[in-house]
């Protein structure tokens, strides 16, 4: 079996699908590995460690793809790249179906089977394959650093010869993987941290990290949906949530928002009046920017400075800004997935009845299986 790791060409993407350590483990298992030259360079993994791990280096994507059974990428292939994938091959990458209509058609026409990494089911067996969680860990950490570097004040309390400085106040909206990492990071930097989530089950996790849980009366017993994610709130529930948060957010120095609902627009939790009530110099880092934003004023990929001096950042693809560790975690996720797909006899087994493969599969046997 030949597995190919391609170089990322999407703007701003510096991660690589497999790092040399994972490549070496697959080679020891009898897999023929081919890595496009330069695939790991931006993540801190030059060609030499891949060659030392037993991979063959290909000078171009087309050379790498010759005879490929499995093709690994981080970002979805372009239409041109998809047109060069071998018929019958398996593609594994991020594949957001909502924005990949033409790509899925191209893959179906090429008879390529496609598994979307973001669709790994949230079940115990697939926990070590969960790329969304591993990459959210990086995003939550980096969001706090981004906020701290943007703020005009320090986060920790300091006692100096020039006097004492009070600690900054950080507020995290959404206590999923990214939110919990943001809480932990803000605490490590010395901030006084509070957090909110509509799911009552996470209150204990928030408090275990040393943060206070606010607006508990806005939490609903039925707020948790499939896979442990928050379900979409009704208009009335959302209004109550916004009202509960309004009195707290005005005193915050740093707000990290991470609330997301799979397959839907991110909920708007921070309204324009809330932003207007915040102090000059306050900073909002909206990790939900790519799906519409938790703040009504967020613009994906841009920085907005309001009339009252609040800075709102809508960063996109934060994990790619810390590509070494992001790639290491992503690589371990993909390696575990590959071990699930490869039989003891070394054969690739793609079954639509499998509880992991089935939900991940977007294209198979020339047909688009899902577009939602």
Q: Domains in the chain and their CATH numbers?
A: 2-119+323-367 (3.40.50.720), 138-320 (3.40.50.720)
Nearest to 114 by CA among 76, 150, 67, 161: 76
Quick one: pLDDT at residue 244? 84
DSSP 18-33: S-HHHHHHHHHTT-EE
Quick one: pLDDT at residue 222? 54
Residue 176 near residue 201 (C-beta atoms within 8 A): no
Supply the residues annotated as catalytic: 122, 127, 130, 133, 229
Quick one: pLDDT at residue 229? 55
Q: CA 87 to CA 38: how far, in whole Å?
A: 25
Residue 221: pLDDT band (50, 70, 90) is low
pLDDT tens-digit series, residues 244-282? 899 999 999 999 999 988 778 899 999 999 999 999 999
Query: CB atoms < 10 A from the CB of 57, how many?
Result: 17
- CA distances 114 to 86, 123, 150, Å, are 12, 20, 40
Q: CA 367 to CA 290: how far, in whole Å?
A: 28
Q: CA 197 to CA 257: how far, in whole Å?
A: 10
Q: CA 19 to CA 64: how far, in whole Å?
A: 16
Q: CA 91 to CA 75: how far, in whole Å?
A: 11
State whether residue 366 is helix, strand or coil: coil
pLDDT tens-digit series, residues 304-362? 999 999 999 999 999 999 999 999 999 999 999 999 999 999 999 999 999 999 999 99
């Amino acid at each position: 079996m030949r597995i190919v790791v391609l170089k990322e060409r999407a703007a701003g993407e510096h991660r690589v699908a497999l790092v040399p350590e994972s490549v070496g483990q697959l080679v020891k298992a009898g897999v023929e590995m081919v890595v496009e030259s330069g695939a790991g360079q931006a993540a801190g993994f030059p060609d030499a460690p891949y060659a030392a791990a037993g991979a063959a280096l290909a000078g171009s994507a087309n050379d790498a793809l010759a005879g490929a059974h499995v093709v690994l990428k981080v970002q979805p292939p372009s239409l041109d790249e998809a047109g060069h994938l071998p018929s019958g091959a398996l593609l594994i990458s991020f594949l957001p179906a909502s924005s990949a209509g033409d790509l899925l058609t191209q893959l179906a026409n090429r008879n390529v089977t496609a598994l979307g990494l973001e669709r790994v089911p949230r079940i115990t067996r697939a926990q070590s394959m969960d790329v969304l969680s591993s990459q959210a860990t990086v995003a939550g950490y980096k969001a706090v650093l981004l906020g701290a570097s943007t703020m005009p004040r320090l986060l920790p309390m300091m006692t100096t010869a020039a006097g004492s400085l009070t600690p900054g106040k950080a507020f995290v909206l959404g206590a999923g993987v990214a939110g919990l990492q943001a809480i932990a990071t803000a605490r490590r930097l010395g901030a006084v941290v509070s957090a909110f989530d509509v799911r009552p089950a996470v209150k204990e996790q928030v408090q275990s990290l040393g943060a206070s849980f606010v607006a508990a009366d806005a939490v609903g017993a039925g707020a948790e949906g499939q896979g442990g994610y928050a379900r979409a709130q009704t208009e009335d529930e959302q209004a109550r949530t916004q009202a509960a948060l309004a009195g707290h957010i005005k005193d915050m120095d740093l707000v990290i928002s991470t609330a997301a609902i799979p397959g839907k627009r991110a909920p708007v939790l921070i309204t324009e009046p809330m932003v207007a009530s915040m102090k000059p110099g306050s900073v909002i880092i909206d990790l939900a920017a790519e799906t519409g934003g938790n703040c009504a004023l967020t613009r994906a990929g841009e920085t907005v400075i309001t009339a009252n001096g609040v800075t709102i950042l809508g960063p996109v693809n934060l994990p790619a800004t810390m590509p070494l560790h992001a790639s290491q975690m992503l690589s371990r996720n993909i390696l575990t997935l590959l071990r699930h797909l490869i039989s003891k006899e070394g054969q690739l087994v793609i079954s639509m009845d499998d509880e992991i493969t089935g939900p991940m599969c977007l294209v198979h046997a020339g047909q688009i299986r899902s577009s939602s």
